[in-house]
Amino acid sequence: MAAVWQQVLAVDARYNAYRTPNNPQFRTLYIRRRSQLLREHAKKEHDPQVRKQYLKNRTQLLADRYGATISLSDHSGSLWSRSASVLGSRGSLDDLGGDGVYRTHKRQASRGSYKAENINPGAVESVGLIPTRNAEASRAMAGDTSTAENYAFAGMHHIFDQHKGAVTCVRFANDDKSRIACCSLDGNISVCQVLPEPATVVCVFKGHTQGVKDFRWSLSNDMLLSASLDTTAKLWSVSSGACIRTVQDQAKGQLLACTFQPVNNNMIVTGSNKGHVQVFNISTGKPFKGGLGKTIGRVLSLEFDEEGQRLWAGDDKGMITSFLYETASGKLTKSKRVNICEGSPVTSISFRSWVSREARDPSLLVNVAVNQVCLYKVMGKDGNLQLKKTFAIKHKREAVRSSFCPLMSFREGACVVTGSEDMCVYFFDIERSTKPCVNKLQGHSGPVLSVSFNYDESLLASSDCNGLVIIWKREQKSS
């Protein structure tokens, strides 16, 4: 019955934004203390009926105090009427609605779910993306458990609140399950250690004069690259916290995205609000000749393929532009432009090339501010895209990000995780033809902007507009 206490925390989190509107520090402290107390009580033996009655009474008291109109477009309407929608719930959310396939958009809209607008389908495929049911060895590597079981969470491991502005991006270090970094509109980047307990803030990088919109870990995790609204990108030493190099955007544009070249981390790429995609030599701080590409809108997201030969840039006009990249010279050549959804910003792009024998299709996971997460197949060497599936979330205004789950290649099911403006974290099984949402986490008091798994999926990090970063702990399976 620990799930009842998690439901209580979910209700408290939903109303947390309404507590002391002018004192966000108190709200943060309040929800952290509630989480601690509820975890302690969950370990004690209590009459299940008493717990359920407490949840009912707590919900009614909060509704009487703050008003009952806080459902925030919850898919089923009533927060407490669905046990499957609770914080860290197990199983599938059968009443989420929609099968996530492009052809169902009209039906979803008629049911009142989030409406898609002008998503360009291309030729929607139905070919599977993930290992077949015969991939016994691959499934054994992942524990041979169901998708829903794999993404059941026991609750919150830790809550960080060191940032005073929205945490725009959160990422675990590469092949690391204990270190995480966050960047914020307060202009700072922080590195945290989440294991072993207690979790701590190791270092805070200060140097940007305006908000930080994006950052990346280097391949060896010894450096961080950040992009800021102050028109600069900075390279930081993780061990010392010192700024090693500052790169000024050539057109003095605000930098909204950045990435390392995956094969050669001496090369970086930035994206600006002037529509420029620029390649720099980070050792010298100078741009490469021929390393400038242009998009029709502000560059909000950048992503390389794993070989560093193709680069995709998403902009605020609803376009994804692909570039061919010459690793030796840093030269960019514009290849394809795909209209994802005209006029709707493309806020996140993630690449995944599955190396399993059964599934070789490289894919992009794309957040577009039309209440959708889109899955595209990468077609050919020119970086062209073909839509495979879409999933409904709440996303119209914020720069919401999503991610592939790292162990997906080894499972019968393949999942992605995304933030959402309804303050929830969603898990979608991309192979399900109906009801693709396998879990939904509640606990944030503002729109969830970014999500990141550690490499073994034991922990998930999510960040929100109020500056909170929640570390979620996956439920341990009994042997």
Spatial separation of the C-alpha atoms in residues 290 and 297, rounded to whole Å: 20
> What are the tens digits of pLDDT across the range 389-405?
999 999 999 999 999 98
Residues 355 and 469 occupy one common structural domain? yes
3-class DSSP assignment, residue 185: coil
Which range, of 82-86, 194-198, 415-419, averages the lowest pLDDT?
Answer: 82-86
Please identify which residue in the block is written with the tokens 């908000």: 211
The verdict on 383 and 457 lying in the same domain is yes
Asked whether residue 398 falls in the same domain as residue 354, the answer is yes
The answer to the question of residue 187 being in a domain is no
Q: Under a CB-based contact definition with an 8 Å cutoff, are residues 253 and 277 in contact?
A: no
Shared domain for 65 and 99, answered yes or no, is no
pLDDT of residue 384: 93
Residues 266, 330: Cα–Cα separation, whole Å: 10
Token pair of 71 as six digits: 């459902």
What is the mean pLDDT of the segment spanning 433-443? Answer: 91
Amino acid, res. 455: Y
Per-residue pLDDT at 163 exceeds 80 = yes
Identify the domain boundary among 70, 103, 123: 70
Rounded average pLDDT over 140-152: 62
Full residue range of the structural domain in which residue 55 is found? 2-70
What single DSSP character describes residue 276?
E
- pLDDT reading at 355 higher than 80: no
41 and 123 inside one domain: no
Q: With pLDDT > 90 as the criterion, what percentage of the chain qualifies? A: 58
User: Among 132-141, 168-177, 214-223, 361-370, where is mean pLDDT lowest?
Assistant: 132-141
Query: Which pLDDT score, from 0 to 100, does residue 66 have?
Result: 76
Here the tokens at position 383 are 């970086």
Q: Which pLDDT score is estimated for 294?
A: 97
Query: How much is the pTM?
Result: 0.76
Residue 161 has pLDDT above 80, yes or no: yes
In a domain, 472, yes or no: yes
Specify if 361 maps to a domain.
Answer: yes
Residues 399 and 461 grouped into a single domain: yes
Q: Residues 326, 308: contact at Cβ < 8 Å? A: no
Q: Is residue 37 located within the same domain as residue 116? A: no
Cis check: omega of the bond before 196, within 30 degrees of 0: yes
Handedness of CA 68, 71, 76, 79 (dihedral sign): negative
In this predicted structure, the answer to whether residue 312 has a pLDDT above a threshold of 70 is yes
Q: Based on the fold, state whether residues 61 and 152 are members of the same structural domain.
A: no
Looking at the structure, tell me whether residues 96 and 52 fall in a common domain: no
358 plus 465 within the same structural domain: yes
pLDDT at residue 459 tops 90: yes
Q: Is the dihedral of CA 60, 62, 68, 72 positive or negative?
A: negative
Whether residue 316 is contained in a domain is answered as no
> Given pLDDT bands bounded at 50, 70 and 90, which one contains residue 144?
low
CA 39 vs CA 80, 156, 198, 408: distances in Å? 19, 9, 15, 30
Sign of CA dihedral 246, 248, 254, 256: negative
Total domains present in the chain: 2
Domain finish residue from 70, 103, 124: 70
User: For residues 236 and 233, what is the distance between their CA atoms, to the nearest angstrom?
Assistant: 10
Answer whether 299's CB lies under 8 Å from 345's CB. no
Band of residue 145 on the pLDDT scale cut at 50, 70, 90:
low
Helices and strands (DSSP H and E) totals, the chain: 6, 28
User: What pLDDT score does 34 carry?
Assistant: 80
pLDDT higher at 46 or 106: 46
With tokens 């028109």, the residue in question is 231
Tell whether 197 is covered by a domain. no
Do 478 and 416 belong together in one domain? yes
Q: Please tell me which residue, 115 or 47, carries the higher pLDDT value.
A: 47
DSSP conformational letter for 84: G
Q: Does the residue 427 lie in any domain?
A: yes
DSSP per-residue letters across 295-330: -SS-EEEEEE-TTSSEEEEEETTSEEEEEEE-TTT-
Same domain, yes or no: 99 and 53: no
Question: Is residue 223 included in any domain, yes or no?
Answer: no
The residue ranking higher by pLDDT, 18 or 370, is: 370
Query: Is residue 284 included in any domain, yes or no?
Result: no
Q: How far apart are CA 437 and CA 422, in angstroms?
A: 15
- pLDDT tens-digit series, residues 50-109: 888 888 888 888 888 877 544 333 333 333 333 333 333 333 223 333 333 333 333 333
d(CA 296, CA 314): 10
Pairing between strand 232-237 and 167-172?
unpaired
Report, as an integer, the average pLDDT of 317-324.
98
* Confidence at 432, pLDDT banded by 50, 70, 90: confident
